Amino acid sequence: MKAAQYIRLMDAIHSACLVVAGVCIVVITLIIPWGVFTRYVLNSASSWPEPLAILIMIVLSFFSAVVCYREYLHIGVGLLPAALGERGKAILGTLIEICMMITNVFLLWYGIKLVHATWYQSIAEFPVVSVGVSYLPVPIAGAITVLFIIERFLTREFFRDHTIETTSTVSTE
């Protein structure tokens, strides 16, 4: 697979993660008011909105983190890379991405073990749903982030300068 094809594939995966995160936000936004309505208006609280929102929040968190990583929106201190030359930036970027790779391979490997260990346990509020299913976002996000790290190694774009489009123009005074 050529680098251009790989990057197009990562664009598609990135878009899919963005859609999943967006759907999660919409679903949470719909079910939480339902829980409030049934509790305070109908005086008969539904038991499912809160635990479902928590499960969806897990998916939202991991897939949003993947999107933020690819878009360079994660927390980063730009002081050190800005002070380095091109060679220093390349070395620092490589070290950072190696650490990211180790972290995400850990998430992938132990996330799979966690899913496997909890697959036959059921969630009390949703007996037909496996606990392992609730942990699936951990290894999936780890795997997708590993793919994005490989993309960074292919493109050698470890740091992105902040532009007008990525920097808030709101005054903080």
Structure tokens at 156: 């050698």
Containing structural domain, residue 38:
3-155
Least confident of 43-57, 63-77, 138-152: 63-77
- 43 within domain boundaries: yes
Examine residue 167 and state whether it is found in any structural domain, yes or no.
no
Instruction: Look at residues 156, 155, 117, 152 and name the one whose alpha carbon lies nearest to residue 134.
Output: 117
Residue 170 within any structural domain of the chain: no
pLDDT digits (tens, 9 = 90+) for 110-152: 999 999 999 999 988 888 889 999 999 999 999 999 999 999 9
Contact between residue 68 and residue 129 where contact means Cβ atoms under 8 Å apart: no
Phi, psi of 157, rounded to the nearest 5 degrees: -100, 85
> Looking at the domain assignment, is residue 25 inside a domain?
yes
Residues 6+ apart with CB under 8 A from 156: 90, 93
Would you say 154 and 7 are in contact if contact means Cβ atoms under 8 Å apart? yes
Domain count, the chain: 1
Q: Please check whether residue 99 lies inside any domain of the structure.
A: yes
Report if residue 166 sits inside a domain: no
**Is 100 a member of any domain?**
yes
Percent of all residues in the chain with a pLDDT value above 90, rounded to a whole number: 62
| Residue 172 forms part of a structural domain | no
